[in-house]
A and B are shown apart, each in its own frame.
Chain A
Amino acid sequence: MKIAVLRFPAANCDLDALHVLRDVIHMNAELVWHRDFKESRFDAAVLPGGFSYGDHLRGGVISAFSPALKEVKRMAKDGRPVLGICNGFQTLTEAGLLPGALLRNQSLKFVCKWVQLKVTTIRTSFTRKFVRGDVFQVPIAHGEGNYFIPPEQLKELEDNEQIVFKYSDFKGNETPESNPNGSFDNIAGVCSPEGNVVGLMPHPERASERILNPFNNEKARLVFESMKEVLVR
């Protein structure tokens, strides 16, 4: 079992993702330079956060056109787990692997803070170890995290159970105050129709260890534990 952590130029959360996969959930993970990435060697892929290609043009758009994404598409197609965090999520939407787009935050400012995230489906490769409706804490850190989808497509997402995470309050209510960036319908993360490709703006890799978590829990770890369960099954 081997997980690839893709390294694009200036993807700066690559080592954090690698750390959690290796040292926290004890999986075999490897950092792979984007030009050297061959899907055949890996069982899953994580596209980490950061500023790939300096966010030139807009977040994730240049890496979406890199040859590495062709490889990722093959993995996605045959059902292997693919996770995009923050910039990785932006890349997956730009590449058409996930629906919707990430616009600039409503405040027009970068925002780094801890938010509450509600799990709205557990059918994906990255949420199966949660309970539906679970609320957990996780930090966001982005300037372009305002999830957008045309309203007419929302129903399709809902019908297909493709909305995975929503910003909420501690009790799971999707309030406007708990929405940190203006995302449509408080959406923080979505998945592919099959549920093996998931993208989210918040950073579960920064909340998976108690020592880093001001709420003194490690629930975000279940995102990675879920993938582990899929892989070792």
Chain B
Amino acid sequence: MMVSGIEVDLTKKELALVKKRLSRDPSPVEAGMIDIMWSEHCSYKTSRPVLKQLPTEGKRVVLGPGFDAGVVDVGDNQCIAFKIESHNHPSAIEPYSGAATGVGGIIRDVLAVGATPIAVLDSLCFGRLDSEHSQWLMNYVVKGIADYGNCVGIPTVAGDTNFDRGFETNCIVNAACVGLVAKDQLILGKARDAGDLLVLVGSLTGRDGIHGVTFASKNLSEKSEGERPAVQIPDPFTKKLIVDATLELLPSGKVKALKDFGGGGLTCCASEMAFKGGKGAKINASAVPLREKDMTAMEIMLSESQERMLYSCAPKDLKHLTNVFDKYGLTHAVIGSFTDEPQFVIEFEGRVVAEIPVDLLTDVPTISMPVKVPEYVKTLAKQKRPPVPENLNHVFMNMLRSDNLASKRWVYQQYDHEVQARTVLKAGDTDAAVLRLTEKKGLALKTDCVYRLSYLDPYSGGAESVLECARNLAAVGAVPVGMVDNLNFGNPNDPAVFWQFSESVRGIADACKMLQIPCVGGNVSFYNEDDRTKEAIKPAPVILLVGVVEDMARITEMRFRNTEDSIVIIGETAPELGGSEYAHSILKWEGGKAPSVDLDREKRTLSIILEANKLRLISSCHDVSSGGFGLALAEMCIRSNMGAEVQLDRLPSKGKLQADEIMFAETPGRFLVASREPQKLLNLAKSRNVKAEIIGKPVLEKRFVLFDSESSRKRVVDCAVTAMRDEFERRIPGCMK
């Protein structure tokens, strides 16, 4: 609708509220600012009531949701700051800049709490890999992330890459950053005293990115191609200078508040700082250094030009700040100050062009959305499974080269994952990355996105996203200390989508509560749908879990170490193929019953692994997830260049299972462990009331053999490990030529 000559995305009710607060019509600049601040992207007006379910407290939590980054205390005066954010729409139309600025934005968030950024992670979903459009998107998304992170000198250490036709035109690009900060060096994006100056530092402000948030708060369409100017331009070189200048300045204590420019530009940045401190702000838009001539006050206030930060300091300390900015050759300008009266006042060319209460921008009324269980949920759950394929050897090799299971080396090899000399467990070869924090202590990181299961059952999918991360961390010997989530969904105005969203958050919340993992921040990305079919993406809840390895001497990896070990499976396999990689890539079947999640058993299972780690019962460990038991074991062989002999009938199962169910079902709560003292491990599992069995052993001969039973010794699968590795490694490079 049009308000004061400006096109805004408000409902009638919302506009009435605004007019009532102001007792007048908003001015054009005010209308523009309200429009972006009331967008879903900035205000979380529809998602906030649902997100309240997430547990946000814990004894390690220093900063929870609502700040630039969440912060947890990991001891030794060290805190970890981390945040995740989506850049789906910009990446879908301009993959290189879209993905690069996604990384840039999230680095600033972590820097804004005073932390040194030490790691980037990425969670990506594309359409099918054999589509040229997906290849184009993936090529440039990965290059965008690589060029940005590599230049700024922050290692991209872990992530996940997924493929499903639902993401064909609306890819998912979520980037996370993790930072390290001494507890006494934390800084907040919160106004402290009236009269403190606001100093804008970094790139010049241009017309790029204007209305980036409103662009993110609607569906992509054919017209979106014309919205390329809403995508910002990355400049990692300037970013690196901003990082270095900020880290040089912070120990002086002269920076009183700090915030990054993200979605909503100067409007969002300055108003949120003022609001958090219970202050107002007076901004002189004419003082903002511009890249382009004749920009209007509205454009200046809404521009989302990258590589800008807002510092606040006492007037007497200004010189100290500007000396450092000058050293690094960074542009800077005093653009305003905080005021006692909580008003947001914008001056431009000597005139007041906006004057509204700060909370009218930042304290947006929530909307309660209707929900409805979509029809497909029941239909798919009732479907009967297709028959078992005949040649499981053949199936097995095809699984190894399926898009989702194949090695992602093509991706992570383009990322510098070693810079900063902290990376102990490297990308790709392990369940989670581990970074060195002290000589003894490590930080474990992993993202996961469970979208296929989420489609069948968003509650289980949400929970499983958390659980899979937790298993990844446990597999390397880490205890979770906090998480952030990035919830990628379709159009929230569709009650079916909002049901998916609500159920997913409920699942995440329940899993976090059970495992006592606080959620310290996150991001919601709605309006993700295929612009041709108008179908919403499969629900894609991305979790970043952060954990601590107390003693890095006890880190465990998936590769086998010696043939004296026995292979033990912990957890029971159920005949649930719904949502599995096998159902998708081999059976071409979207239906079936989703695996059920048993949170209490999951907690006990995780405790077995962590206890066994302490007792040093584990030689190698790998969680069972995508591709089921078969693929988990295959990865252990490929990574160690050793073979394995296993009997399928020894796997503990729920009821009578078909051979493909045993091999490929993705029942949660399972691990493969190689142990020299398997009996102790079995006893430990028994004491926690979790099923576990010795199923075979690693062997030097590089053959992967699955026997059906001890008596018949029929080889259900028998392949050479080198041939398996070839299938596993060649798929993605082959497609990306």
Contacts and interface: CB of A to CB of B under 8 A. Distances in A.
A16 B415 CA distance: 18
Given A141-B418, A212-B421, A110 B146 contact: yes
A16 B419 contact: yes
Contacts of B327: 33
B420 interface: yes
A195 to B, nearest CB: 27
Contacts of B413: 109, 111-113
Nearest to B416: A141
Contact of B152 (A12, A20, A56, A139): A12
Contact of B237 (A19, A53, A109): A53
B150 A51 contact: yes
B426 interface: yes
Contacts of B240: 9-10, 12, 51, 54
A214 B244 CA distance: 30
B694 to A, nearest CB: 29
Q: Which of A9, A15, A19 has the most CB of B within 10 A?
A: A9
Contacts of A9: 237, 240-241, 244, 328-329
B100 to A, nearest CB: 13
Contacts of A232: none
Contacts of A20: 421
Question: Chain A interface: which size bin?
Answer: 20 to 34
B138 interface: no
A111 to B, nearest CB: 6
B695 interface: no
B256 interface: no
Interface stretch (A152-160, A166-174, A203-211): A203-211
Interface string B457-477: 000000000000000000000
Given A10-B240, A51-B153, A55-B151, A16 B421 contact: yes
B554 interface: no
A2 B481 CA distance: 42
Interface string A29-62: 0000100000000000000011101111000000
Contacts of A205: 421
Interface in A78-131: 109-113
Q: Which of B153, B244, B415 has the most CB of A within 10 A?
A: B153
B404 to A, nearest CB: 22
Contacts, number: 86
B145 to A, nearest CB: 11
A16 B414 contact: no
B419 A110 contact: no
Nearest to B153: A12
A49 B155 CA distance: 14
A107 B313 CA distance: 48
A13 interface: yes
Contacts of A109: 143, 413-414
Interface string B178-193: 0000000000000000
Contacts of B235: 54
A25 B111 CA distance: 31
Given A55-B151, A110-B146, A212 B424 contact: yes
A212 B419 CA distance: 11
Contacts of B237: 9-10, 51, 53-54, 56
B98 interface: no
A209 to B, nearest CB: 8
B417 interface: yes
A113 B413 CA distance: 6
Contacts of B39: none
A54 B153 CA distance: 11
Contact of B153 (A10, A113, A203, A214): A10
Contacts of B422: 212
A55 B552 CA distance: 36
Contacts of A143: 150
A162 B418 CA distance: 28
A206 B418 contact: yes
A139 B418 contact: yes
A114 to B, nearest CB: 8
A203 B426 contact: no
16 contacts: A9-B244, A10-B153, A12-B153, A15-B420, A51-B150, A51-B151, A54-B240, A110-B147, A110-B414, A111-B413, A112-B418, A141-B418, A206-B418, A212-B423, A212-B436, A214-B429
Given A9-B241, A110-B414, A141-B419, 4 more contacts: A9-B328, A53-B237, A54-B236, A112-B418
Interface of B: 143, 146-147, 150-153, 235-238, 240-241, 244, 327-329, 412-424, 426, 429, 436, 552
